[in-house]
Amino acid sequence: MKRVSIKDIAAKAGVVPSTVSLVLNGKARQMRISAELEERVKKIAEEEGYMPNQTAVSLRTGRSKLLGLIVEDISNVFFASLAKIIEDKANERGFKILYCSTDNDDEKGNDLIKVLHNRGVDGFLITPSPGMQKEVSRLIAQHKPVVLMDRYFPGLSGAYVLADNYSGVADGMKHLLDKGYRNIGYVTNDLGQIQMIEREKAFTDTMGRFLEAPDQKILRLPYHVPTAEAVEMISSFLKENTDLDAVFFATNYLGIFGLESVGQLGLAVPSDLAIVCFDDHDIFRLMVPGITCVRQPIEEIATAAIDLLIRQLEEDETIGEDMHQFKLPSLVIRNST
Under 8 Å between Cβ of 216 and 246: no
Number of domains the chain contains = 3
Angle ∠(298,300,305) on CA atoms, nearest 5:
95
- In CATH, what number is assigned to the domain containing residue 86? 3.40.50.2300
Same domain, 156 and 305: yes
Same domain, 137 and 230: no
For residue 154, count other CB atoms closer than 10 A to its CB.
Answer: 7
Determine phi and psi for 246, rounding to 5 degrees.
Answer: -160, 155
Residue 251's contacts (CB-CB under 8 Å, 6 or more residues apart) are: 188, 189, 277, 278, 279
Residue 23 confidence (pLDDT): 87
Q: Which neighbouring-strand residues pair with 96?
A: 66
Radius of gyration of the chain (CA): 26
Residue 183 confidence (pLDDT): 94
Structural domain for 34, as ranges: 6-52
What whole-number distance in Å separates Cα of residue 188 and Cα of residue 250?
A: 5
Same domain, 195 and 256: yes
Same domain, 194 and 125: no
Question: Which element (helix H / strand E) includes 332?
Answer: strand 330-332
Same domain, 135 and 209: no
- DSSP reduced 3-state for 271: coil
Same domain, 100 and 222: no
Question: Which element (helix H / strand E) includes 66?
Answer: strand 66-71
Q: What is the dihedral of CA 234, 236, 241, 246, to 10 degrees?
A: 20
Query: How many CA atoms within 13 Å lie on the side-chain side of 136?
Result: 28
Same domain, 203 and 228: yes
Same domain, 150 and 175: no
Which alpha helices (DSSP H) does 119-164 contain, by range? 133-141
Same domain, 225 and 323: no
| Parts of the chain with a pLDDT under 70 | 1-2, 53-63, 213-215, 316-319, 321
Same domain, 107 and 159: yes
